[in-house]
Amino acid sequence: MLRFWRNPLLILHMRSDLRPARAATAAAISLVVCTLIAMGCWSANTGHAHEFWHDFYAWLLGSQFVLLGVWSASTCGQAVARERELKTFDFLKTTRLTAAEIMVGKLLGAPIVAYFIVGCTLPISIVAGLVGGIRPVAVLGSIALLLAFALFYSLAALLGSMLVEKSSSGAIGLLALLTNGFLLGFAGSPFKGFAAISIFPAVLTLHGVDSDLVHFSPTVFGREVPWAILTLVLYVLLGAWLVLMIVRNLKRDIPQIQLLSRWQCVAVVAFWNLLFYAFLDTKIFRIPAPLRTYSDSYYVPFQIALYAVAWNAVFLFLIGVAALSPHERLKVWWRKWKAGKGSYFAPDGLPWPWLVVAALIGYAMLAAEALGMRSAVPLADWHLGFAAMAFGAFLVFTARDILFLQWCLLTRMKQPVMKGFLLLVLYYVAAGIVGAVVSAVYGRFGPHTSKVLTLLIPCALLSGVDKPEVPSTFIFASIALQVGFCVLLLLAIRGRLDRPVHAPVAGAA
């Protein structure tokens, strides 16, 4: 394996982006900005040296996170798409560099100027932090978080850039950064550990900033873990999945991209379900009301079961998209299957059988959690029978949507997956509006609206506080209806695959 500091792409970026004049200018500007920040902090803390150094460190650290995060996400979000737009990426793919070496070169080379600027200001922030009374562990921990934060979101942006053709994909990386704020919502949920994907809890608690996050820590299998450690571990684990998807597809053309193999898709579902139950704070089931603190909430097991259904529904759709077979590979598989030499579980076959496997894993892990807690929580409170029906309903809805996207891939439309996804969004929005109109016009049928809507959208199943509200009759009717649509889509896909290939006819001499 080529050592990263000898990576040709990294050397290319260093020589082009860090020419002596440009590097000197960047260093001078960074020092000027540090001076201006110091002057502003001094004017606000005249005569209080300790507060000055403390505020100076805080402003420098925040600026480093913003600069490196935004710059890395933006440049890595354009790293591949920009080269495709300039028609130079094909030349890069023909070199002896492996996909991993290209990834490292883009990951570290594209934002090299930002790393250089942070490197220039890092000694100043370290000195300011130590003089300002910040613990050395907090100073060193913030540096580790800064690097992990930048690399993780650079990987996410690079993956997005790999999937599109336009250089405007840099917005994908910036959008990923904005999720830091939304992920904080998990801090008030039974799954506080997911908030650790955001950088804010780790940085705030590491420096002892007075906030609600300081008063509680996330739990992993019932044991409290510091925010900073959990954030670093999650960045490593999630970053490993991103690396797998990038290395697997970086040297492929966009129509040939298949983010994960079928077994890897199943492993993703198992991984996210493992995190779901690892981060579940079981104290929410047994804390009496007089003993709860401000950060505690009360949930019944049925609500957690509904969360598990919704959680798996999201990942069923995502892995279904990741497992879509390219047109040519699906055509080859179809010929083998018709000849009796292929299997429905073949790597290039239709994705719906793997959705069944993933759904079974999701339900099995829910049942295992309920059985494991039966000594503290009655098994009947989980309503596992209703959860099984809900899993089945979401499974057939997802299979229908994925088969529709697979059919779109067999057509001649441009960007078939994106257009197919937009059509699905239009369908669900229309179904929701129709349900709202019916409920408004026929108010006396309002309580039954959620039951009827199960025939059109599966989200109606996620209603109820401590017990199910939708009768099993409606759920089975919904499953039967969607299975019918799946059969029709399978016939449409078969019709596309059975079409003969028309070779061009040579003209007369």
Mean pLDDT of 176-191: 77
Q: Round to whole Å and give the CA distance between 487 and 403.
A: 10
Q: What confidence tens digit (pLDDT) does each residue in 329-348 have?
A: 888 888 888 887 878 788 88
Q: Round to whole Å and give the CA distance between 412 and 442.
A: 43
Mean pLDDT of 141-152: 94
Instruction: With beta carbons less than 8 A apart as the criterion, state whether 279 and 170 touch.
Output: no
Residue located via tokens 């957690």: 304
Q: Round to whole Å and give the CA distance between 461 and 473.
A: 12
Q: Round to whole Å and give the CA distance between 103 and 242.
A: 11
Whole-number pLDDT of residue 141: 93
Percent of the chain with pLDDT over 70: 87
Q: Round to whole Å and give the CA distance between 21 and 80.
A: 27
- Report the SS3 class of residue 219: strand
Name beta bridge partners: 223. Answer: 220
Q: Which range in 3-12, 57-66, 298-307 is most confidently predicted, on average pLDDT? A: 57-66
Helix 227-249 × helix 136-163 angle, to 10°: 30
Residue in 281, 295, 308 with CA at minimum distance from that of residue 223: 281
Residue located via tokens 């150094």: 53
Q: Round to whole Å and give the CA distance between 273 and 156.
A: 21
Q: What confidence tens digit (pLDDT) does each residue in 397-449 have?
A: 999 999 999 999 888 787 888 889 999 999 988 887 877 776 666 555 555 55
* C-beta neighbour count of 432 within 10 angstroms: 15
Residues 6+ apart with CB under 8 A from 78: 110, 161, 167, 169, 170
Q: Where does the pLDDT of residue 313 fall: very low under 50, low under 70, confident under 90, or very high at 90 and above? A: very high
Instruction: With beta carbons less than 8 A apart as the criterion, state whether 396 and 479 touch.
Output: yes
Mean pLDDT of 34-40: 91
CA 243 vs CA 95, 108, 157, 240, 417: distances in Å: 20, 14, 12, 5, 23
Q: Round to whole Å and give the CA distance between 198 and 65.
A: 12
Mean pLDDT of 271-292: 73
Q: Round to whole Å and give the CA distance between 286 and 270.
A: 27
Average pLDDT, the chain: 84
Q: With the C-alpha atoms ordered 328, 334, 339, 343, is the resulting torsion angle positive or negative?
A: positive
Residue in 193, 421, 191 with CA at minimum distance from that of residue 307: 191
Whole-number pLDDT of residue 73: 87
**pTM for the model:** 0.86
Residues 6+ apart with CB under 8 A from 153: 69, 72, 73, 173, 176, 177
Q: Where does the pLDDT of residue 164 fall: very low under 50, low under 70, confident under 90, or very high at 90 and above? A: confident
Whole-number pLDDT of residue 503: 47
Instruction: With beta carbons less than 8 A apart as the criterion, state whether 370 and 384 touch.
Output: yes
Q: Round to whole Å and give the CA distance between 450 and 134.
A: 55
**Better pLDDT: 5 or 33:** 33
**What Rg value do the Cα atoms of the chain yield, rounded?**
27
What is the helix, strand, coil percentage profile of the chain, to 5?
75, 0, 25
Q: Round to whole Å and give the CA distance between 67 and 64.
A: 5
